A and B are shown apart, each in its own frame.
Chain A
Amino acid sequence: MSDARTAILGRLRASGQTGPLPDLDTAVLERKQWPATERAALLRKGMEAVHTEFLEATPADWPAVVRACCDREGFKNLLFGPTSEAGSALAAAWAPGGTHLMPYDRPVEAFKDELFTGVDAGFTGTVGGIAETGGLLLMPGPAEPRLMSLVPPIHIALLRSSTIQDTFWSAVKHLGWGRALPPNALLISGPSKTADIEQTLAYGVHGPKRLIVVLVDDLY
């Protein structure tokens, strides 16, 4: 189909559309700034409005907070990435018994059915958050596979308040995503939802039915 490519690009070039490029005034984005200490509350407000649940934790006790949540909810298992930073810290603190910590350590093809039907919850870290609208930034990869935050009916995400940025725009710049993106990166603002039936909001349509954020206060 290189013929199509040549023809299309040829037509676009032949039309000779050039001219001075309009300036980009990003003041409207730059205006959106909050002190670091206010960002967590703002993020929380935005995400709670779309049914995200929050658990508060400290840098020291967050594994215990995750564990207590699993015990309380009665999860039989929790899918985690054993080589990720958050995953390995969680595993190190995990006492035997109760919820089984299930490693995502094989290609999905080896346990696709089990992933879809046999997992109660998935646990992932995050690389940041968005204060303005609420939202988590995730960078799935070898240590934390892509489907962990999507297929299990409940997603538990660890968020450190120091990583929360003002806006998606400032986060993109801060994380350097514009220069080199990993194979998959994403923003998640709540549990999966739809309003396709009569504009009525319903949660848990295809992805997780619940999103639980473990918010670690690490601003001193």
Chain B
Amino acid sequence: MHADTEIKFRDSAAKALLDPQLRANFRRAMDGLIFKRKAQFPNPRDLEDLRDLSTAIRSRSLLNLPALLEQFETQATKNGIQVHWAETCDQANELILGILRSKGAKTLVKGKSMVSEEMHLNAFLEEHGIEALESDLGEYIIQLDGETPSHIIMPAIHKNKNQIARQFSQKIKDAKYTEDVDELTAMARKVLRQKFLDADAGLSGVNFAVAETGTLCLVENEGNGRMSTHVPPIHIAVMGLEKVVATLEDVAPLYAILTRSATGQAVSTYFNLITAPRGAGEKDGPQEMHLVILDNGRSRIYADPQLQATLRCIRCGACMNHCPVYTRVGGHAYEAVYPGPIGKILTPQTEGVGVRHDLIHGSSLCGACGEVCPVKIPIPEILVRLRREATHEDVGSQVNGKGTGRTATEDWAWRLWALANKRPALYRVITWFATRFGNALPAGAPLIKDWTRTRTKPVPARRSLSERVRAKGVPHV
């Protein structure tokens, strides 16, 4: 049944492979990121110790998740943050719309947030007459063209500066054509500063939420996160429910490994710890703060001890930077909010393994993602597990859409295979035909064509192994 609904990663990947500009843009960017990350970890022992510590911190947080979420909520509420819960993206969107409407807000300026991408918040708000403007430079660039991020950290990585220069000159008022990166940046600064000043509300994501203090942590380089959260009178934050950790001390190593893994920086320009809205005697900061905690399938992933590791993710993007598939096809080919290896295990779990069967097979299982993951998510193992569960209805499995990835062709092929292997006579007939006439099958024959699309057709041996052994006089074969 999935064959009709499946989004074909294979087709979009094939299309992307034919775009030399896209491939050059990604190759250059990913090579740079791989090199810079490596330079941040000169001592392999430090790297492994930090990965172990970060993995332990995230695992502990998940084991304690319900209690930590409650502790966080109590503390944040005490600090003056209004905490909301949403089971689905629709609920989260409605919540945010409700907050904005109750304040008569017409414009929202946004810091970077992948959860808001997950919610398709911008489109939702535009439909309801509220302007949602991205302020992260990369997000701003893609929003101008109505695109989605092609990388979770560097959303406009698929574009080069000539493309951006052309776009700015066409879409920004009074902008001249320039390929100078400083001048392009200055143009965006001018437009967005006015937007920060005028916005009725600001929205941000959350990198870590600290249960002990009720604090929201934001990692960024540009300052747009600080602008979005501190200039407008209302700050709304959105986060997935897995983001909470116990203490601020827990945050320190996660922050250290996040920036190094993501962009090869020892530290980001800003690390913002927001604990409360404008307090007594304060002269600035938002007067009102809201936090929306989103589930959207996460509690289901949580229920399985192995798959739960998916939720350890700190969204650094190192898995995509090191992925041979991602580097060649880019982020858009995945047709998912989260591209690359982490997206390949997350998206099928939230949208259904049958619906996104294409993604779990879009991997060579080379293992690079698992090797660089700062919190040691066993991405290749989870991919293999999801491949199985997509076609099996295992008892006790919590996997969303388990068994729905089965196709009639595959079923039929495996049944035939099983039958042939159970009946020696039939097996001998099949191998006899395959060795004598297998070569006569055209490369475009059904089943074979999936293989020969990108490979040469295999040539069967003239005699099967058992025939040759028998010819040598070995008995009982």
Contact = CB atoms under 8 A, between A and B. Distances in A.
A11 B185 contact: no
Contacts of A23: 56
B29 interface: yes
A205 B49 contact: no
A182 B334 CA distance: 42
Interface in A96-155: 104-108, 112-113, 116, 130, 132-135, 141-142, 145-147, 150-151
B283 A183 contact: no
Interface stretch (B83-91, B121-129, B426-434): B83-91
A198 interface: yes
A107 B279 CA distance: 12
B253 A204 contact: no
A200 to B, nearest CB: 4
A189 B269 contact: yes
Nearest to B289: A183
B66 interface: yes
B53 A24 contact: yes
B13 to A, nearest CB: 23
B63 A200 contact: no
A172 B254 CA distance: 14
A169 B255 CA distance: 10
Contact of B63 (A5, A17, A113): A17
A143 B378 CA distance: 48
B242 to A, nearest CB: 10
Interface in B142-165: 154-157, 160-161, 164
Interface string A9-51: 1011111011101111111110100000000000000100010
Interface stretch (B302-310, B357-365, B440-448, B460-468): B302-310
Interface string B220-242: 01111011001100000000010
A98 to B, nearest CB: 26
A60 interface: no
A130 B267 contact: yes
Most chain A beta-carbon contacts within 10 A, residue among B28, B69, B184, B299:
B299
Interface stretch (B100-108, B244-252, B417-425): B244-252
A71 to B, nearest CB: 27
A151 B337 CA distance: 32
Given A13-B66, A196-B154, A184 B188 contact: no
B275 to A, nearest CB: 4
Given A28-B49, A202-B182, A206-B193, A195 B252 contact: no
* Interface residue tally on B, bucketed by range: 35 or more
Nearest to A105: B283
Given A8-B241, A11-B299, A206-B222, A133 B266 contact: yes
A183 B227 contact: no
B255 A168 contact: yes
A17 B50 CA distance: 25
B181 A135 contact: no
Contacts of B230: 146-147, 150, 184
A142 B276 CA distance: 13
Interface stretch (B131-139, B385-393, B407-415): B131-139
A182 B273 CA distance: 9
Contacts of A132: 266
B263 A27 contact: no
Contact of A189 (B32, B79, B91, B267): B267
Contacts of B28: 198-199
Contact of B192 (A169, A187, A197, A206): A206
* Interface residue tally on A, bucketed by range: 35 or more
Contacts of A187: 267, 270-271
Interface stretch (A61-69, A87-95, A156-164, A173-181): A173-181
Contacts, number: 272
A137 to B, nearest CB: 9
B222 A186 contact: no
A35 B49 CA distance: 23
Given A25-B52, A182-B275, A1 B95 contact: yes
B185 A205 contact: yes
Contacts of A169: 249, 252-253, 256
Contacts of B320: none
B308 A17 contact: yes
Contacts of B221: 192-195
Contacts of B247: 178
Contacts of B79: 183
A179 B28 CA distance: 44
B266 A207 contact: no
B281 interface: yes
B274 A184 contact: yes
B268 interface: yes
Given A116-B193, A178-B247, A187-B267, A197 B185 contact: yes
B223 A206 contact: yes
B302 A12 contact: yes
A29 B189 CA distance: 37
Nearest to A167: B252
B284 A147 contact: yes
A205 to B, nearest CB: 5
Contacts of A188: 269-270
8 contacts: A9-B70, A11-B303, A183-B274, A192-B222, A197-B185, A198-B29, A198-B160, A205-B137
Interface of B: 25, 28-29, 32-33, 46, 49-50, 52-53, 55-57, 59-60, 62-66, 69-70, 79, 84-87, 91, 95, 135-138, 141, 154-157, 160-161, 164, 181-182, 184-186, 188-189, 192-193, 196-197, 210, 212-213, 215, 221-224, 226-227, 230-231, 241, 247-253, 255-256, 263, 266-285, 293, 295, 299-300, 302-303, 305, 308
- Ranked 6 nearest A-B pairs via Cβ: A207-B223, A142-B281, A169-B252, A196-B138, A28-B49, A15-B303
